[in-house]
Amino acid sequence: MQWSTDWGLRGRMAFTMFLLFGLYLAFVGALVSFYDAGMLTVLVLMGGFSLVQYFFSDKLALRSMGARKVAPDEEPELHRKIERLSQQADLPKPTVAVADSQVPNAFATGRNQKNATVCVTSGLQRTLSDEELEGVLAHELAHVKNRDVMVMTIASFLSTIAFFVVRWGWLFAGDDRNSPPVWVAIVVSLVVWVVSFLLIRALSRYREYAADRGAASITGNPSALASALMRIDRRMDNVPKEDLRDQAEMNAFFIIPIRSGLIGKLASTHPPMDKRIEKLRELEAEMETV
């Protein structure tokens, strides 16, 4: 399906990434000014750690969810759906995984389009109709096509460094750990971490809108995804609290984040449900007029 590009969404994503880039340039300059080569060594080491995490993101995500890869003879219908949707999205078929969980959710992970995994929970399969499940799977494939794992890993790297400096920076200052410049650097790192945290969460929300739009493009059926989101949202109220706590660390990956009453809109990885559904309804109307 074809429709006009959402330039407003693209503009907001570009502006957010521009702000992150500027913030990180200032941050690196501050670190170089206040620390010696010891901190730069730590930056290199943590960069290597982030690369390892990036290349093994699929295995780490599946392990944290207790998910397992499934063969076509184990989940033939799920494989057929993902294979067909992958062809429609012009993507290689990803690895298929299932997590035995009552939480109705799904996520995509992997470092690139050729090394991707789409995982669904058993709770999701029991909750959704075939059309709704296809809408959710298309949303996850849109994340793969948009290379969102790579984008968010790059966006988060220096934010992680900033948090590290806030917590442990004084250890690398040697005899100067009580000097004003060192504490200025730690305060600067704290500001960078807080601001970048909010910017990264905003970027994550924009990526979710983009994946919703991509799912509508793949299936040509925005209403199916909208219906799936509403059904999953209602089902979340009946999920045991211990299951929600066990999987809370995967919030950024899920199609719908596990609710937490302490997290405000600015700190959410996903847009408000009503806004996502409203956008999908607009897409449906737009597609009907083409």
Least Cα distance to 67 among 103, 25, 31, 26 occurs for 103
- What CATH architecture is 56-159+190-289? 2-Layer Sandwich (3.30)
Residue 29's Cα: distance from chain center in Å?
A: 28
pLDDT at position 205 is 92
Identify the weakest region by mean pLDDT among 51-65, 111-125, 233-247: 233-247
Strands 95-99 and 116-121: what pairing?
parallel
Q: Domain extents for the chain?
A: 56-159+190-289
274-286 tens-digit pLDDT: 999 999 999 898 8
Residue 249 corresponds to which tokens in the numbers above? 């660390």
47-57 tens-digit pLDDT: 777 777 778 87
Write the burial class of residue 54 (CB in 10 Å: 0-12 exposed, 13-18 middle, 19+ buried). Answer: middle
Residue 262 amino acid letter: L
Residue 53 corresponds to which tokens in the numbers above? 């995490």
Helix (H) or strand (E) holding 120: strand 116-121
pLDDT at position 3 is 44
* Predicted TM-score of the model (pTM): 0.81
Instruction: Give the residue with greater pLDDT, 140 vs 239.
Output: 140
Cα-based angle 93, 94, 99 (whole degrees, multiple of 5) = 135
Residue 254 amino acid letter: F
CA 66, CA 100: separation in Å to the nearest integer?
A: 7
pLDDT at position 91 is 95
Mean pLDDT over residues 87-97, rounded? Answer: 96
Instruction: Give the residue with greater pLDDT, 118 vs 258.
Output: 118
Highest mean pLDDT among 27-36, 121-130, 250-259: 121-130
pLDDT at position 146 is 92
Check whether 257 has a pLDDT greater than 70: no
155-176 tens-digit pLDDT: 887 788 787 777 766 655 555 5
Q: Which residues are catalytic?
A: 140
Backbone dihedral angles phi then psi of residue 106, each to the nearest 5 degrees: -155, 155
Mean pLDDT over residues 1-16, rounded? Answer: 72
Query: What strands, in cross-sheet order, belong to the sheet with 67-69?
Result: 67-69, 95-99, 116-121, 106-110
39: pLDDT confidence band, cut at 50, 70 and 90?
Answer: low
Instruction: Give the residue with greater pLDDT, 11 vs 181.
Output: 11
44-84 tens-digit pLDDT: 766 777 777 778 878 888 888 889 999 999 999 999 999 99
Check whether 252 has a pLDDT greater than 80: no
Kindly report the average pLDDT of the chain as a whole number.
Answer: 81
